[in-house]
């Protein structure tokens, strides 16, 4: 919800576990699953549209609120960090 439709990742294993359990419970089917990926930040992402938030600032909050309210109409990104 925070960044629109997509595939969400976290570096926090506990948070990933909680989200997986919550999602499985909400769907009332399946088992919680955590996939682990290695992310190399030296990868060339220049062909993609990447948005990097430096932290939870006002711009980040506006973006999150607009996505949660389904009112975001700005630029679409391939990766949001």
Burial category of 38 from C-beta neighbours within 10 Å (exposed 0-12, middle 13-18, buried 19 and up): exposed
N- to C-terminal Cα distance for the chain?
A: 14
Cα–Cα distance between 68 and 65 in angstroms, integer? 5
- The answer to pTM > 0.85 is no
Place of tokens 């996505």: 67
The predicted pLDDT at position 1 comes to 60
Judged by DSSP in three states, 72 sits in coil
Residues of the chain with pLDDT under 70: 1, 4
pLDDT for 13: 92
Residue carrying structure tokens 């955590």:
34
């Amino acid at each position: 919800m925070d960044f629109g439709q997509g595939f969400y990742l976290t570096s926090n294993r506990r948070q990933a576990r909680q989200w997986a359990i919550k999602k499985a419970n909400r769907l009332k089917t399946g088992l919680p699953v955590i996939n682990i990926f290695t992310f190399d930040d030296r990868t060339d992402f220049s062909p993609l549209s990447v948005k990097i938030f430096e932290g939870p600032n006002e711009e980040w909050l506006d973006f999150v609120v607009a996505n949660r309210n389904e009112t975001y109409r700005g630029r679409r990104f391939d990766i949001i960090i």
